[in-house]
Structure 1
């Protein structure tokens, strides 16, 4: 979330009240976010799932829900006895606040598992990893290869509001004055086209998808950024309220069946640019990522 946000005493009280409401939120059937939640969702027949309308993770095309997260999470929830994903679309910065306010039960938006986010919500085990890349004008006139090269060249880079890449860019030593925050991936592509920024930094999977519909742009080879000397693979997962750990745990059981089956994983997600290279390493856990 934006680092410049100042919480007044009144806002802190409001947020505390919001947290209390989230803890008491219910689904039809009267179940709260505890062991009764999954049976209540089965009875209701659907789970409310939030997306940022970002391809290829979760987006709407011609009235149809598409993307990595709907494909993967649809399989998981069907196995759990919940046949329908009912989408709710939100701006990226509003995803976690909406979850805490009880507007939906799950965030399925390819959200990176980061310690500050783990303080607010409960993540599933990683469902993919995605190295970072940069979208640049065709021909890559600045010869950018990674964030260190972007710093040396003194270029202006764009990052998506609330996304992990802002931390990567700052840790690489790029000054705030050379970082532009954008709301949507297409805004980043448009900013590169217009020359307002020299490069748009996001996951390689996202940028490869974006390049399909944006002529005159190209995507650099993916690289793994560092924060504090630690490699950042941008592992993503589903997000639940902290009071819904029983639902999260049941989700993880079914998720593991898919991420342990390379052929099934690629068959489900290949249409969205995901390959076996995006499978999380066996030793990568959410507990480790949240404690990093």
Structure 2
């Protein structure tokens, strides 16, 4: 089983950290390499990939988004992207492991064709690459003890019940709890996801607040817990969808657009989406609304 993701890298947590690792490494783009000469750029990128018979994808080994288990590339992004590229006439994904901070610089340098890592769509990242339409959203949920003894369903019910909430240090979920009116004295800071599960099991907090995707994955190894139905929190009056998508090199708009056409077919078919990605903790609550568009997300 792949290690649980370092979520602060994903852009779902500390907003100030969302741009981490997106600056081009000095000299990286000017360095001459075989990857640069082989890169598919400009018009006809899809035709070139069809001709070679594979697409080079980068992953960061972060479950449940994209990780290697044995010799098999698994997770939300590779599973979804494999389905889409097969529909486009490309049968094979050739994976490249990258540190999270190197994903976009490596894409820019032509080391691979697509980032398949469930990367959050942010305006800063849109300045360095082009994103597909959202593949998923990341609504929030609560991990509680088995049986949900406090009967909480969302932050409003948590406030009403007067329970203690656990959040990860530096995570945006802390601001969600505060915006919902939960007193600071009832919000406990934890360092990593397993700390949250342990705090719930040990009774140090009544619930642990994080994305439903992450909590459902965490619950697999913490059977004494359960996860509430996911919900979309608000912050400053705005719904916090935290969407993620595939990432392409600038100049490959034709490839991105073809990808989007196949992606739309899947996200429009709820049962197909859940059948494909359910084992990784993605359900109907993670299907992006049709009105949520990358162009608007890139504006901020």
Deviation of 1:265 (Å): 2.8
The TM-score, its normalising length taken from structure 1, stands at: 0.72
Structure 1 residues 17 and 201, CA gap change in structure 2 (3 angstroms): same
Residue 53 of structure 1 corresponds to 62
- Between the aligned partners of 2:227 and 2:56, the Cα distance in structure 1 is 35
Q: Secondary structure at the match of 1:242?
A: coil
Deviations 1:219-277 (A, max 9, x none): 23322111220112333221223343332222112212222334433433344444444
- Between the aligned partners of 1:226 and 1:252, the Cα distance in structure 2 is 28
- Between the aligned partners of 2:227 and 2:241, the Cα distance in structure 1 is 18
Structure 1 residues 193 and 251, CA gap change in structure 2 (3 angstroms): same
Q: Is the 8 A contact 1:18 1:101 kept in 2?
A: no
Q: Which moved more, 1:237-246 or 1:88-97?
A: 88-97
| 2:223 is equivalent to residue 215 of structure 1 | yes
Q: Is the 8 A contact 1:24 1:33 kept in 2?
A: no
- What count of residue pairs does the alignment treat as equivalent? 281
Structure 1 residues 155 and 98, CA gap change in structure 2 (3 angstroms): farther
Residue 203 of structure 1 corresponds to 211
| 2:272 is equivalent to residue 264 of structure 1 | yes
Residue 9 of structure 1 corresponds to none
- Between the aligned partners of 2:297 and 2:137, the Cα distance in structure 1 is 12
Residue 68 of structure 1 corresponds to 76
Task: For structure 1, list consecutive stretches of 5 or more residues without a partner in the other structure.
Answer: 6-11
Q: Is the 8 A contact 2:54 2:91 kept in 1?
A: yes
Deviation of 1:289 (Å): 2.4
Q: Match for 1:227 among 218, 235, 242?
A: 235
- Between the aligned partners of 2:28 and 2:117, the Cα distance in structure 1 is 25
| 2:113 is equivalent to residue 117 of structure 1 | no
